[in-house]
Amino acid sequence: EVETREDEEQNVKLTEILELLVAAGYFRARIKGLSPFDKVVGGMTWCITTCSFDIDVDLLFQENSTIGQKIALSEKIVSVLPRMKCPHQLEPHQIQGMDFIHIFPVVQWLVKRAIETKEEMGDYIRSYSISQFQKTYSLPEDDDFTKRKEKAIKTVVDLSDVYKPRRKYKRQQGAEELLDEESRVHATLLEYGRRYGFSRQSKTEKAEDKKTVLPAGLSAAEKADAREEDELQAAEEQRIQSLMTKMTAMANEESRLTASSVGQIVGLCSAEIKQIVSEYAEKQSELSAEESPEKLGTSQLHRRKVISLNKQILQKTKHLEELQASHTSLQARYDETKQTLTELKRHSEKLDKEQAALEKIESKADPSLLQNLRALVAMNENLKSQEQEFKAHCREEMTRLQQDIENLKAERVPGGDEKSLSAGEPRGGLTPVMTHSEDLDRRYNMEKEKLYKIRLLQARRNREIAILHRKIDEVPSRAELIQYQKRFIELYRQISAVHKETKQFFTLYNTLDDKKVYLEKEISLLNSIHENFSQAMASPTARDQFLRQMEQIVEGIKQSRMKMEKKKQENKMRRDQLNDQYLELLEKQRLYFKTVKEFKEEGRKNEVLLSKMKAKA
């Protein structure tokens, strides 16, 4: 491994880098089991991918890499930084050698860039998600707004029609034309009933000026200004009056009778007028014929006969034209009826064919099901007829009620009331209204009770729907399951890191405890040697015995050392085997995640193809 410079400044920069990454949202930097290289490089890779730049790394599944892998990874990161326009220079050996002093400004710039990218994309993603939500769903406030929108628009339109400007006056046709634009503007405003002055003072100021009396101590200039304002006001009033004298009041549109309407009325009654004129002419001719022929000459009699015959010819000709027109209309009606009959025959044949086909299907169908369908169809027809009868009854009832209301309004006229009261006649029209009001109250109570029952049923259904909604909400969605999975993985990694750290503490404790035991044994042995050394050196026999004991002690220590060495070798072999198994499992895990990623991509492609096929279908 490359030797790193472990000083206080490097540790401070490492701590600041990890705090920056955690603050930016890279919480993997909190895992204590990861090396500083994995934390820093993982954070830099995360920032680069957050800024929408591609980098070919698989850091999540290749922890504790070799030196070659670290150098290759550092070179990939450094090659991306110029494309991101990073203002700080960084070399691959600085990342691999964990030179945190030079890495810190780059990480600081990457974190700042990642936060800015998140803020830029946040509004876009939020607006896109809202638009996708609004394509399928809607909030209660939107539904209420949609329901109230049409009514509100209608109300605004009605109000604008009611309060729109109405012309009250009109300039006379013989009036002289106004030359200046200001006079034309004010004349137009006066036509619509709006009166505006020409002076600079407001109406309240004018009223106050009228009420106040000039004090005696005012100067001549102030009196002149007041006099000038009064003159302006008088001229203004005179000008308004002159404009008003050239205007006439507008008549109501409803009471206006135009020449076109008179022509329409005359046109409607023209046939009756012609008939009356012809009848009058016939009567006149009959009266003239009844006069004594002695008084009339031969030429006059002949002339009158010719006139009467011409009139008869005209009448017969007119009658013939009417008969021809009637014959033409009857012929057209005959042709139309004949065509309708042909269409009805064709439709009848079509219905006969469909009925034969239905009878074939009916012969193959279930008799009980057909009987139920017939009963339902008959019930439907019965309900339709009842509905029509009920509507007709309601219309009749409404007509009768309106007639009763009109009668009551007519009876409430003061003259009619006084006459009826003076004559002592009772109001016989009130009794049916009172009985009908009782009938309406009874029907109202029945409908109210029915509405109460329907609301109870609706509340019960709403409760059931709410219960089903809660049950559906209790089942987590795919996105929630993915979040739970990610959170469980993070918790598992944290737990494994804490467990590993705890195991290291236990191992350290056991090692120190064994070391303590051996040191205590060594101290007790040295103490016993020190105590017995002077006695053993006193005589040759005791010295030989002391040396034999020392040899036995040394032999026991050698055997203990050999046992510990053997145990150490066994643990080392077991560690190597577990490490090999761990690397195999990591490779399988990497392959598993790679397969899952490819499977998700294929699933997404499959969904896209299915959507395209549905769109084509």
Q: Is the pLDDT of residue 31 over 70?
A: yes
Lowest mean per-residue pLDDT among 27-31, 111-115, 228-232, 426-430: 426-430
Contact residues for 429 (Cβ-Cβ < 8 A; gap 6+): 404, 407, 408, 411
**Between residues 255 and 278, which one has the greater pLDDT?**
278
The pLDDT value recorded for residue 520 is 93
Say how far apart CA 590 and CA 322 lie, in whole Å. 102
CA 19 to mean position of chain CA atoms: 40
Domain regions of the chain by residue span: 8-133, 169-210+224-249, 481-538, 540-617
Burial zone of 21 (CB within 10 Å; 0-12 exposed, 13-18 middle, 19+ buried): buried
Q: Compute CA distances 454 → 80, 255, 371, 488, whole Å.
A: 68, 52, 31, 49
Average pLDDT over residues 403-425: 61
Q: Is the pLDDT of residue 400 over 60?
A: yes
The pLDDT value recorded for residue 62 is 59
**What confidence tens digit (pLDDT) does each residue in 69-96 have?**
778 888 888 888 888 888 888 888 888 8
**What confidence tens digit (pLDDT) does each residue in 188-214 have?**
887 776 666 544 444 444 444 444 444
The residue among 75, 58, 183 whose CA lies nearest residue 594 is 58
Share of the chain above pLDDT 90, in %: 17
Lowest mean per-residue pLDDT among 59-63, 88-92, 302-306: 59-63
The pLDDT value recorded for residue 304 is 77
- What sections of 81-202 are H helices per DSSP? 92-96, 100-136, 140-162, 181-191
* Mean pLDDT score across all residues of the chain: 79
Neighbours of 112 (CB within 10 A): 13
Average pLDDT over residues 62-67: 67
**What confidence tens digit (pLDDT) does each residue in 93-134 have?**
888 888 888 889 999 999 998 888 888 888 788 888 888 888
Where does residue 52 fall: left (phi above 0), alpha (psi -120 to 50 degrees), or beta otherwise? Answer: left
- pTM value is 0.27
Say how far apart CA 8 and CA 477 lie, in whole Å. 49
Neighbours of 498 (CB within 10 A): 13
Question: If you count them, how many residues does the chain have?
Answer: 617
Query: Which structure tokens are listed for 561?
Result: 């050392």
